[in-house]
Structure 1
Amino acid sequence: MKTPLIVGIGGTTRPGSSSELAVRTALLAAERCGARTEHFGGDFLASLPHYAPENPDRTPAQHHLVAAVRAADGIVIGSPGYHGGVSGLVKNAIDLLEDLRDDERVYFDGRAVGLVVTASGWQACGTTLTALRNTVHAMRGWPTPLGVTLNSAQTRLFDAAGHCLDTTAAAQLDLLGEQVHTFAVRQGSPAAAGAVRAA
């Protein structure tokens, strides 16, 4: 069985943002389970042009993101909660994945998607997580049972080295990464593939 690839998408224009570090923490947990990972953080996302469906031309960075998600066995998406919704930076990257519409495995089809939201308040955490789950459903993905919400107004979440300082948050992010890996492995097994075809 091949080593699963888990792709992370998330961050802000601020280097070392909580949402970027949260996605990275979940990916590290997936790596400890045996996955390969690739993370598209804030700097990368900020470099992407605005998605324009009428323009078929793509930059090398856009091609890279689409190719990585196309090859992914599982996905982790992290967004800050801006005014109760997904940030424009993250949504722009998700919109670009419309390029997967004609694939045999369209969008996120058949893949687990772990979701992480950081916000300065619980209300924005909840509404943004719901928005992300709705997007994943619309793109035929499977949101993991656990969705992680982190309230950055209550505590300092990460240190300068990117380590999660909150033990509860760290445990949740680890579990999220483990769940994405577990579903990726199960989906890749012959028994699971047969069950999906039969359904």
Structure 2
Amino acid sequence: MEQTKKPFILGLGGTTSPVSSTEVALSISLEAAAAAGAEIELFGSDRLMALPHYRSDPAGLNQTGKDLVALVRRADGVILSSPGYHGTISGLVKNAIDYVEETSSDDRIYLDGLPIGLIVTAYGWQAVGSTLAALRSIVHSLRGWPTPLGVGINASGGMFSDGVCKDPAVNDQLKLVAQQVMQRAETR
């Protein structure tokens, strides 16, 4: 009996803190993907901060940048998670997404055909909505397939602590976005 390959789901996002609501939400979603049978990897705060500003010069990529590009190339699906800063995604997350440009001459260009789950945390609903729209637009421009559900979280109430989300409805949404990425990844 032939064993099927586990889908590889890359979690990309966070802030400068590994305990931020953005990275905790991403971790919860990735854990749901793992529970559904995925191999997962989190590219979070420590590695985001180790990325130099993206420039389209492969000689200028440090090892962290090369690792990120290799993970994107390997991914069967991606879950992106960004804080909403001043009505849009953070510079830290945008810089990491810019590294996808390194795949522009690959057989699978950019995120072509990949399911992409989206998570946004912000301290207010306005920033949640505009940041989620910005992420969707970026994913479309990179030829990815945003999942029907994008998780928008108003984190101003302090619902995340000790790696746990205290709001059952948000927890369910984080799991659902992972399930949607997995469903599409398994059918690719």
Matched, 1:123 2:144: no
Matches for 1:20-99 after TM superposition, within 5 Å? 20-54=23-57, 56-99=59-102
Alignment pair present for 1:171 and 2:182: no
8 Å contact kept, 2:112–2:142: yes
Name stretches of at least 5 consecutive residues in structure 2 with no aligned partner: none
**Unaligned runs of at least 5 residues, structure 1:** 188-199
Q: Which amino acid aligns with 2:176?
A: L
Q: Which amino acid aligns with 1:163?
A: V
In structure 1, the partner of 2:160 is: 158
Residues 18 and 24, structure 2, Cα contact 8 Å, conserved in 1:
no
What is the Cα-based RMSD across aligned positions, in Å? 0.9
What is the SS of the residue equivalent to 2:72?
helix
**Offset of 1:69 from its aligned partner?**
0.8
SS at match of 1:37: strand
2:6 to 3, 9, 18: 3
Q: 4+ runs of 1 displaced by more than 4 Å? A: none
User: What corresponds to 1:190 in structure 2?
Assistant: none
Residue 149 of structure 1 corresponds to which residue in structure 2?
152
TM-score (norm 1): 0.91
TM-score w.r.t. length of structure 2: 0.96
Q: 1:20 is paired with a residue of what secondary structure?
A: helix
Q: Deviations over 1:140-170 (max 9, x none)?
A: 00000000000011x222222x011110100
Helix, strand or coil for the counterpart of 1:56?
A: helix
**Once the two structures are aligned, what percentage of the paired residues are identical?**
50
User: Post-superposition shift, 1:94?
Assistant: 0.3
Cα 1:75–1:55 shift into 2, 3 Å = closer
Deviation digits for residues 50-107 of structure 1, max 9, x if unmatched? 1112463211111101000100000000000000001000000000110010010011
- The match for 1:113 among 112, 116, 128 is 116
Q: CA deviation at 1:3?
A: 0.6
